Each structure stands twice: as structure tokens, then as C-alpha cells.
Chains A and B, each alone.
Chain A
Amino acid sequence: EPEVTQTPSHQVTQMGQEVILRCVPISNHLYFYWYRQILGQKVEFLVSFYNNEISEKSEIFDDQFSVERPDGSNFTLKIRSTKLEDSAMYFCASSSGASGEQFFGPGTRLTVL
């Protein structure tokens, strides 16, 4: 069964450093998403991406964040200068249609020291 994959599973970084989280969405999906989950809290929407551009973003997704689809298979989330409060589990998701079921990856745990 096709699935969303994410690398790395755990990323530790120093405050102020740049990180890139990587995702490989399901191959025939066209819509891509990033969500995050701070420990013990609910999953929060960050951004959605379609046709090589951002279609929606939340207040969390400020100028420190960016997304890119550098090739036909990867979808990345970059945090330019990490802050302590960026520590969270980051989930990538994809869907075949805009209103279709979103399939989530296993997540990347980001720890900012």
C-alpha cells in the first residue's frame, strides 16, 4: 500500500540553525501539506501546496518557514532560523484531490536546543 515517507525521523538542532525536513508524498497525489504537533497538544495546520505554489497557510507559517517541491517526488519544509518553540513533531500529508482524504507520514521529531 502506498504511503507517505518522511526523513529524518528525528532531527536535533541548535537554536538559530536552519533545518530542512523532507517528505516523499504518495506518487500520484497532487496536494501536499505540512502540519505540526507540539508535545501533548493537537495537530496544527501549517501550509498546503498545489501546482508548485502555496494554496493556504496558517498564522504559524511565518517568514521563517518555506516549502519547496525540488523534484518530482520530494516535498520539503525549511525553517530558516529555528527557535526553541519550533520543537515539535512535523507531519507531511498528501491527497489526490483538494477535498480528498489526507494521508499522513510518520512524522519528523524536531528538537531545538
Chain B
Amino acid sequence: GESVGLHLPTLSVQEGDNSIINCAYSNSASDYFIWYKQESGKGPQFIIDIRSNMDKRQGQRVTVLLNKTVKHLSLQIAATQPGDSAVYFCAERERRTGYALNFGKGTSLLVTP
């Protein structure tokens, strides 16, 4: 079936550097994408979303880029802080088939001082 996956399982960055977390998806009909952050012992926390009619969206210190041609999604975190250490999941859905989110496997981001 269709799948959502992440390129790298772990990413280690220095505090203050920029982080880029990547995600590949296979369902070309997906029209909504979300990045979630999950800290240890907590539920997924919404970071930023993007619809398929856009290729870039910016939030506070975060930017999501969507490349529909190659079915690739990325999350950029500027000036990474220790509090950014968590597992990051991309998720997608295809509105035509419903509103259930299809999650990727997750990338663990470790920010070192």
C-alpha cells in the first residue's frame, strides 16, 4: 500500500545550527501534510502543516517545503535549541479517502550544546 517514510532515523546537530528533517511519501494524491513533534512520554504535538497547493510555508523558526514532483517533504528548524530534541514525524492524508492521518516512522533529533 501507500507509505510515508523518513530518510534518516536519527539526526544530531549542534545548538544554534539549522536542522533539516526529510520525509518521502508515495501517495501522489495526498493533499495535506503535517509535521508533528513528539517528546518522550507525550503525544504528538502539531508543528506546522502545508496543503498541496503550496510549496513552502513558514512558521516561527520552522519552515516546511513540499516538492510534489519528487514527493518529498522537509522540515527546517532554524537556530536549533536543546528543547527541539524530540522525535519528528511527518504525516499525510488524502482528503478524498478521509481525514485519518498516515504517519511516517519518525526521525530522532538530538541537539547537543
Contact = CB atoms under 8 A, between A and B. Distances in A.
Say whether A and B bind each other. Answer: yes
Interface of A: 4, 31, 33, 35, 41-45, 48, 55-56, 58, 91, 93, 95, 98-99, 101-107
21 contacts: A31-B99, A35-B101, A42-B89, A42-B103, A42-B104, A43-B89, A43-B103, A44-B103, A45-B101, A48-B99, A55-B98, A55-B99, A56-B98, A58-B100, A95-B99, A101-B34, A104-B36, A104-B44, A105-B43, A106-B43, A107-B42
A56 B106 contact: no
A33 B103 CA distance: 14
Given A101-B34, A106-B43, 17 more contacts: A33-B100, A35-B103, A42-B105, A43-B91, A45-B102, A45-B103, A48-B98, A48-B99, A48-B100, A55-B98, A56-B98, A56-B99, A91-B44, A99-B32, A99-B99, A105-B43, A106-B41
Interface centre among A4, A43, A48, A107 (most CB of B within 10 A): A43
Contacts of A98: 99
Contacts of B32: 99
B71 to A, nearest CB: 17
Interface in B69-113: 89, 91, 95, 98-106
Nearest to B99: A98
A90 B104 CA distance: 17
Interface of B: 32, 34, 36, 41-46, 49, 89, 91, 95, 98-106
A107 B43 contact: yes
Nearest to A59: B1
Contacts of A35: 101, 103
